[in-house]
Amino acid sequence: MLKTVFLFFLILDPTISTPREESVDEKFSSAILPESYHLPNSYTSTETDSTKQRRPVISKGLLEDLRLAQYDFSEENQREEDEEEEEEFDDFFGDIGRKKLNALPTPENMISQERFSCVSCEAPDCDEEDICENAVVCYTAHVRDVDGEEMKSKGCSPTHSHALLTCSTERYDGRHVQKKHGISAQYAVDCCQGSMCNNATDWPALPDVPTVEKEPVPVSTEQNSHIIKLLLAVICPVAILGLLVTVILVVMRYRHRKRMAELNAVDLDYQDEMVGLRAQAAGDSTLREIFDHSMTSGSGSGLPFLVQRTLAKQVGLRECIGKGRYGEVWRGIWHGESIAVKIFFSRDEASWIRETEIYSTTLLRHENILGYIGSDCTSRNSCTQLWLVTHYHPLGSLYDHLNRTALTKMETIKILISCITGLVHLHTEIFGTQGKPAIAHRDIKSKNILVRADGSCVIADFGLAVTHTQATGETNIPQNPRVGTKRYMSPEILDMSMNMQLFESFRRVDVYAFALVMWETTRRCMTHEGVEEYALPYYEMVLPDPGFEDMRKVVCIDGFRPQVPQRWEDDPVLAGLARLMKECWHENSNVRLPALRIKKSLIKIACLEPKLGVMVQE
């Protein structure tokens, strides 16, 4: 009803019906409403030069038809139709004010009283067709929604207002909506008059989705300068703060390193040459003064008992440098100097007692035996701690040294000769009023040998040591539940054929273990053919922590020994070391060489090369 009234006013009011001169391409911003209406020439009067206006051609028959159209339905149906069409009319009226009326069928046809039958089918696929009667116009519609899905439908317009709304715009591409929102719908409608005229009508072609080109927003010089100032205001304080923090950290790191260097500084003047003949004072100036005033010449007992009993109170522990089955090893500070503190677990008290006894042995002190300072028993954190205080060697054990460093021939010979020199001193009994008993270590391995700063070695860990005095014929075997390291056990221990009453048997056990240490060290000796990676003895035959039966099978039953690489045979020094170690790990303990003979053989092998010979003679 409202649409009919509006159409009526549109025809009567020349200001409404007069279209502006615009291109057909101008579109509405709505994807649903038509974007322009083209009024045919037969619908308007000719434009005059004076007024530039168009007047409608109005006939009485047209007015009469419009009035009759208002009463086609009953009053109740008319009210419902008015309510349903009110919203459509509002949108239609808003758009019609911005666009032209154009391209409608001629007014005579649109308002004719003739009615048709049309094909009707629903979107989206128009699968099921039906027939609608009493139509003014038949139409075929093709729509693409914002998601790109296409829908097709056919139908009829039963009223003139519906026909005007449906057929007013044939195509719409949604350009303005696309520009504003980035998405839009498109549609195309074909209208026709005649019975079933839309039956065989092809679907109207949809316009392409418009491409909207966005113009770049120019940035002015003022905006650039503002951004630069903002960045500088943020970055500069952060950079300055970061620089200050970096300087502070560098200074603190430098001071820390300097302080640690002072703590770790050890005067090495007391160390002898590898096979030198003279003995020098042990330790730095502070320790040297204490030793010089507290022990007789040649004593190996460390500090006097009176000093040892207060030793724990004078030592400050700094860092843990090792852990083992016996306990822990810490680096400590005593009188401003670095020392090593071996802390035993309370359950391993027997090892602490035995090691303290061995270190307290007269004339034990030697350049290739770990320097002993004292022992003490203290309580910390409600726990009893057994301390053994010795000299500190920053390079750690031979095991650690071989893992991180490959050796030259000179370094290899120096390590082996210094180790066997210490073993000779242990095995040798010194006769006299204050003599020294013969000592067998019983746990020779690379982890119980420490490397000094000059590359020579010292023997440590005497918790399993056995002493023997020839005058009394007594062999002092400690009552210690600990046993040696299974990997380094000799065949006679593994098959339990060793004569425990004969002290020489213990010496031969040490020789067998030293032969395995020789093999470990020689593997890391470089030649022109390269060097092997570090490996423990029998690494390819047993697990990392082998059991007693595993070692017995490999060593005694199968008779295996560590493999000698082929490159050793091509070098006279390494070939000589290989022959020597094979004699030392012989299955028959009586065939093994004594420690002093091994030392002489090593010196002889070193003389095969002039440089090594000169080093040994020095």
Q: How far is 618 from 613, CA to CA, in rounded Å?
A: 9
> Cα 410 from chain centroid?
42
443 in active site: yes
> Whose CA is closest to 321, among 395, 379, 258, 371?
395
Q: Is 430 helix (H, G, I), strand (E, B) or coil?
A: strand
Q: What angle do CA 573, 575, 580 make, to 5 degrees?
A: 95
> Cα 92 from chain centroid?
65
Residue 191 tokens read as: 């209208």
Task: Kindly compute the dihedral angle of the four CA atoms of residues 367, 372, 373, 377, in this order, to the nearest 10 degrees.
Answer: 170
Backbone angles phi, psi at 46, to 5 degrees: -75, 145
> Cβ distance 503 to 466 under 8 Å?
yes
> Cβ distance 35 to 92 under 8 Å?
no
DSSP E strands in 311-405: the ranges are 316-323, 327-334, 337-344, 372-380, 383-391
Q: How far is 337 from 367, CA to CA, in rounded Å?
A: 19
What phi-psi label fits residue 283: left (phi over 0), alpha (psi between -120 and 50 degrees) or beta? left
Residue 359 tokens read as: 């270190």
Distances 152 to 28, 122, 126, 158, 201 between C-alpha atoms, Å: 22, 7, 6, 20, 12
**Which one from 190, 376, 443, 510 is the annotated catalytic residue?**
443
> Cβ distance 72 to 8 under 8 Å?
no
> Cβ distance 351 to 463 under 8 Å?
yes
End-to-end CA distance of the chain: 127
Instruction: Fill in the amino acid letter for 280.
Output: Q
Q: Is 137 helix (H, G, I), strand (E, B) or coil?
A: strand
For residue 610, the 8-state DSSP code is: H
Q: How far is 460 from 299, CA to CA, in rounded Å?
A: 17
Active site residues: 443
